[in-house]
Amino acid sequence: MRRAGTPRIAMVAVSEYEIDARIRRQAECLVRNGWQVDVLCLRPQGSESEVELEGVHVVHLPVSKYRGDSLARYFAMYSYFFVLAFWRLSTRPRRYDVIECHSMPEILVIAALVPKIFRVPVVLDIHDLSSELFAPKFGHRRQIMRLLFALERWSVQFADHLLTVHLPYADILSKRHGLSDGEVQVVMNSPDERHFAKPRIRTWGESPVFSYHGTLAIRFGVLNLVEAFATVAKQLPDSRLHIRGDGDARAELRRTIEGKGLSGQVYLSDGAVPVHQLAQELDAVDISVSPALFDQFTKNALPTKVLDCAALGIPTVATDIPVLRRYFRPESLFFVQTSDPTALAEGMLAAAGDVPRAQAKAVAAREDLSAISWESQQQVYLAFMTRVLAGQCSGG
């Protein structure tokens, strides 16, 4: 039951709330500041239909995450989720004071159509741009790209207010849709200090533990990472590689690990690690690797693993993509020019072979992160949502 005078928000996302760090940070921030928060999301296997987590009411709609290569199956998953979310929001259109829809896809924001008719403000939080994600695959197919751009444009025009994860996306949205300064609010994906508050100095001798955590997708370089580690392991036979996450490349990744004879040295988690457990698991890590391939999508997709590891004092080897240069200095990361296995292996060996330099880079990265800490970002988010509630934000 709603408490009198308490603002109430519905967050809608085609993701699993338990492992979606951004949505959890935002939802818990609002709860701590007196809001009531309902989250409509995917239902992980074995979970209950509704749960309470840190004061957030999580509603698992009866749709599970699809991992595979079938575009038809993806479309079916998104469509079914959209219908269920649309129906739930429409049956009681004045139940919420604000509705926040999280991309992808951006068009999910239309699920809030009926509440919007009843003048409930609608926020579109763009985590990633669908047009950027699919450009490497469908860039040569003009009709598909036109459709993606049209859906993005309609979504931006439909939303009353816009959020996104960093300045490069804000720049793209502003230029592409003719938005003025201030129409796209940036709230960074910085790690929550409640979970990532215990950095320590790493030292490893001849047995470093390398790590990757996040989405297991070819575009993020996970296969190249295993290839690179095969080279590293020849020079550092006691080294290990931990891979935590889930994604479409899981099966191929496992085959590559086995094919390289690395099953004894590479740990692959059973799935994505919940946010509140991640920092504890990363405590065993010495060096992180962010091996993203360079394409239309990844050049502007800020790897949150780099931010997580900067908070924990873990030195990072990272592909030199433009978005990282926007937030981290050259002296903060071991930048490699490409995610080619040879270049990655050289970067990993350089980090492992010079402990003092790696430690200095970890300190510098943490200094860079302090400028965009969640402590400051949550204040930006809370102020933004307060203005939305009061009807003081400019529209999207």
pTM listed for this prediction: 0.88
C-alpha distances in angstroms, 151 versus 60, 146, 156, 193, 258? 26, 9, 9, 36, 41
pLDDT at 57: 97
The C-alpha R_g of the chain, in whole angstroms, comes to: 21
Of the options 2.40.10.10, 3.40.50.410, 3.90.550.10, 3.40.50.2000, the CATH number for the domain spanning 209-370 = 3.40.50.2000
Q: What is the pLDDT of residues 324-348, one digit of tens each?
A: 999 999 999 999 998 899 999 999 9
Structure tokens that stand for 23 in this block: 């949505």
Rounded to 10 degrees, what is the CA torsion of 394, 85, 97, 117?
Answer: 60
pLDDT at position 5 is: 74
Which stretches in the chain have pLDDT values below 70? 1-4, 67-71, 134-142, 144, 296, 392-396
What's residue 69's pLDDT?
Answer: 62
Return the structure tokens found at 1: 């039951």
- Rounded to 10 degrees, what is the CA torsion of 45, 20, 347, 168? 140
pLDDT value at position 109?
96
CA–CA gap between residue 193 and residue 275 (Å, rounded): 12
| Angle CA 327–23–3, to nearest 5 | 135
Buried b (16+ CB within 10 A) or exposed e, 193-216: eebbeebeebebeeebbbbbbbbb
Among 57, 62, 58, 56, smallest CA distance to 43 is for 62
CA distance 307 to 316: 10
Q: What is the DSSP string of 282-313?
A: HTT-SEEEE----STTGGG---HHHHHHHHHT
E strand segments, 139-248: 161-164, 184-186, 209-213, 240-244
State which H helix or E strand residue 353 sits in.
helix 341-353
Quote the CA–CA distance of 376 and 309 in Å, as a whole number: 18
Q: Tell me phi and psi for residue 152, to 5 degrees.
A: -65, -45
Q: Which residues contact 392 (CB under 8 A, 6 or more apart)?
A: none
CA distance 334 to 152: 35
Q: Which two tokens stand for residue 29?
A: 């921030």
pLDDT of residue 7: 95
> How far is residue 362's CA from residue 14's CA, in Å, rounded to a whole number?
34
Give ranges for CATH 3.40.50.2000 in the chain. Answer: 8-190+373-390, 209-370
CATH class of 8-190+373-390: alpha beta
Residue 307 CA: distances (Å) to CA of 275, 299, 350, 368: 14, 16, 21, 9
Cβ atoms < 10 Å from Cβ of 310:
31
Greatest extent of the chain over all pairs of C-alpha atoms, in Å: 65
